[in-house]
Structure 1
Amino acid sequence: MTHLYPAIQPYRCDRIETGDGHTLHVEQSGNENGYPVLFIHGGPGGGLTPIYRSLFNPDIFRIISFDQRGCGQSTPFASTENNTTHHLLSDIDAIRKFANVKKWIVCGGSWGATLALLNAISKPKTVSGLVLRGTFLARDEDYDWYMGKNGAAAQMFPEHYAHFVEVAGNPGTTKALTEQYYQLLTSGNELEKTRATKAWSLWEHQIASLHANVNEQDISQHLHVATSLALLECHYVKHRCFIDDNYILNNIHKISHIPGTIVHGRYDMVCKLNASHALSEVWKNGQLLVVPEAGHCLSETKIAEAVCHANDAMIKFIQEEK
């Protein structure tokens, strides 16, 4: 029977200096002597929430996670300086060395899945297994799905999309929309910046869950989180996540030996199911698990339970392989 585990409190929290102006908040929970697993949160700019600790059996796993640069409890907050995909991948390896881990399972959702794949491609000998959720491949078509006027999200949520683009002056392309939002989010006009922050975050939340029920007042009550999410997400979209189009699929052969499970909601409007399907087609050890009647968010019970079950199955497989 699929279930979620209690979200127990971390037994250790650390502050790690990156050496280039950032300080990372790192958490460890579960069994200090258990099998190491790294959880990578989404966004970019989302930060950690307690639900991630419920995805892992605390008696078996040593659960390690961190707030990425510019968000959560890492500092400086909402900073785009020295904040690129390369920097985040360097942070992951620095955390692995700090935690004295040679090899770990890596679990990530959405943007966290992107980083999990990129980390495995760059450091395959450090990864024993991958558990991914709502994979984002950072292809041009993936940005258009999420933000483009002809993308699925815009077509399924036209009234919400109309407000999203109206705040930015109704630019006609995904690139132009991103550029305009970036100008607003980095503006010296605080009213302008706040309006753009709310609109960007509201758009994502309105389309992220199958039964989303969120409004601008809800975003206003969590403006701190919305600030890092909007600015950093826009920063990464503007720079195409600092990787070439189709980079992940073109390099997937480097992790062909690594076992993986790819969880994806059937009605995900943030990250297209096609991405996870395409990934499973070229990754011979990557098994796709489509969750019916589910969208994108980890907060959806069916998604969370599927990821939890995948983690249980992954550790069982690894232990049996030994």
Structure 2
Amino acid sequence: MKLGCSPNTIPSSLLQLLPLSSFSIPLPRNKRITFTGRKIFNLRVQNIGCNSEPKLSYLMATENESTELRRDLHPHIEPYSTGFLKVSDIHTIYWEQSGNPNGHPVVFLHGGPGGGTAPSNRRFFDPDFYRIILFDQRGAGKSTPHACLEENTTWDLIADIEKLRERLEIPEWQVFGGSWGSTLSLAYSQSHPDKVTGMILRGIFLLRKKEIDWFYEGGAAAIFPDAWEPFRDLIPVNERGCFVDAYNKRLNSDDMETQHAAARAWTTWEMMTAHLLVNDENIKKGDDDKFSLAFARIENHYFVNRGFFPSDSFLLDNIDKIRHINTTIVQGRYDICCPMMSAWDLHKAWPEADFKVVADAGHSANEPGIAAELVAANEKLKNIIKNKGT
């Protein structure tokens, strides 16, 4: 359907007629922003030189790459090998491999920091094509010592990723990370761009002060006041000038019950806001003292130290180092934990990367729309790798 050469807005009457919930906008170097929903139409805005105005046309989604790719999660699988790697005098990390032992390697970088991996993380990848590597970062999951903050920095984790790559004799690999995992993916790839074949990033977190302030100093409370008040009320009024510092004091207390109480409140606040629709199973993680202690202590440790980055804009300032890497960014429109402003800033700094906004999702990778885009992004990179081999 042709809309002519001059309009650069979509008539409201047309939006009412068409079941439009997925559209894409081309960017420099033939990249597009794709807004994903449930319907079957795709809008492209193309510069065709008609008085320098964009031309709009509707195409069936079957003509768009997103519907040609698998979008449903892969079946549950079990690891074919597991192990522990001693990465320092203090720390030992858990790792596992699943999928195809001779497949294309992909490393999964979990969120938090301190969140650890889960069996469901394997399901984003085609097990016939990918050699899927998961590992628990220092102090998290099955790694030891549990919830340990000593020798636990972004740079230590980057060194661990390299040690694991060398231990598994992998020359280079694909990198997949969401939330804090997106932070670590960017930092790792900027440190070792020659080792990364492609990246998929979800729920972008650049660990800037304004992002920390939004979630932990009262911004997100405007949307989740009911979840915020228990988090707030654990801290006396005279210490509420900086909740991150106040929780740091309690999460490092000599009294373990003080630590656990703070960890439960910190973790529950995040779990209550991680989905567009509140997920009761997710919230229960806050009641698990083992999980919540690592999750809260390590997150807070990294946030107090601003990710151990030399500047607030460090990751954005170093995009040129990774601009050549095939990358897809997936972001939930209503992400409260990692609001879309960060994904948008990353997209503007890196327009070459595919940018997919899921219109009906929050933060979690397990939300249907986000999971579908993550699977599709892996399929896209799989096809690129296969085509290179032909």
* TM class by smaller structure: over 0.9
Residue 369 (structure 2) pairs with residue 306 (structure 1):
no
By how many angstroms is 1:299 displaced? 2.2
Report which of the two has the higher share of strand. 2
Which runs of structure 2 are paired with 1:248-267 in the superposition (5 Å)? 248-267=315-334
Residue in 1 that maps onto 2:291: 225
- Pick aligned residue for 1:146 from 207, 211, 215: 215
**Partner amino acid, structure 1, of 2:137:** Q
8 Å Cα contact 2:268/2:286 also seen in 1: no
Q: Equivalent residue for 1:88?
A: 157
Q: Partners of 2:314 and 2:83 in 1: how far apart?
A: 33
CA contact (8 A) 1:266 1:295 kept: yes
1:221 Cα deviation from its structure 2 partner: 4.5
- What letter matches 2:319 in structure 1? I
Q: Number of residues paired by the alignment?
A: 318
State the partner residue of 1:196: 262
Query: Which amino acid letter does the alignment assign opposite residue 253 of structure 2?
Result: S
**Aligned-pair distance for 1:155?**
1.1
Distance 2:245 2:108 in 1: 31
Contact map agreement 1:198 1:216 (CA 8 A) in 2: no
Residue 242 in 1 paired to residue 311 in 2?
no
2:135 aligned with 1:69: no
Q: Shift of the alpha carbon at 1:68?
A: 0.3
Rg larger for = 2
- Measure how far apart 1:217 and its partner are: 8.4
What are the equivalent positions in structure 2 for 1:41-120 lying under 5 Å apart? 41-120=110-189
Given that 1:23 and 1:76 are in contact with CA atoms closer than 8 Å, whether structure 2 keeps it comes out as yes
Gap runs ≥5 in structure 2: 1-69
2-structure distance, mates of 1:296, 1:276? 12
Counterpart in the other structure of 2:4: none
Residue 32 of structure 2 aligns with which residue?
Answer: none
Q: Distance in 2 between matches of 1:181 and 1:94?
A: 33
> What is the TM-score of this pair, normalised by structure 2?
0.79
Question: What one-letter code is carried by the residue in structure 2 that aligns with 1:77?
Answer: H
Look up the equivalent residue of 1:62 and give its one-letter code. Answer: R
1:162 and 2:229 correspond: yes
Aligned partners of 1:258 and 1:285 also within 8 Å? no
* CA-based RMSD: 1.6
Give the share of equivalent positions with the same residue, in percent: 39
Matching residue within 313, 335, 338 for 1:268:
335
Whichever residue aligns with residue 203 of structure 2, its letter is: G
Question: What CA distance in whole angstroms lies between the structure 2 residues aligned with 1:79 and 1:229?
Answer: 11
Letter in 2 for 1:311: N
Does the CA contact (< 8 Å) of 2:271 and 2:286 recur in 1? no
Aligned partner of residue 27 in structure 1, secondary structure: strand
Residues 358 and 369 of structure 2 are in contact (CA less than 8 Å); yes or no, is this contact kept in structure 1? Answer: yes
Return the offset for 1:88.
Answer: 0.3
Contact kept, 8 Å, 1:107 with 1:116, in 2: the verdict is yes
For structure 1, the 5+ residue unaligned runs are none
Q: Do 2:112 and 2:180's aligned partners in 1 also have CA atoms closer than 8 Å? A: yes
Distance between the aligned counterparts of 2:81 and 2:147, measured in 1? 24
Distance, in Å, in 1 between the alignment partners of 2:130 and 2:285 is 34
CA distance in 1, matches of 2:292, 2:206: 23
Q: Distance in 2 between matches of 1:268 and 1:129?
A: 24
- Cα distance in 1 for residues equivalent to 2:285 and 2:119: 19
Q: Tell me if the contact between 2:245 and 2:304 (Cα under 8 Å) persists in the aligned partners.
A: yes
Structure 1 runs (4+) deviating above 4 angstroms are none
**Structure 1 length as normaliser, TM-score?**
0.95
* Alpha-carbon distance between aligned partners in 1 of 2:283 and 2:316, rounded to the nearest angstrom: 40
Q: Distance in 1 between matches of 2:313 and 2:251?
A: 28
Are 1:23 and 2:92 an aligned pair? yes
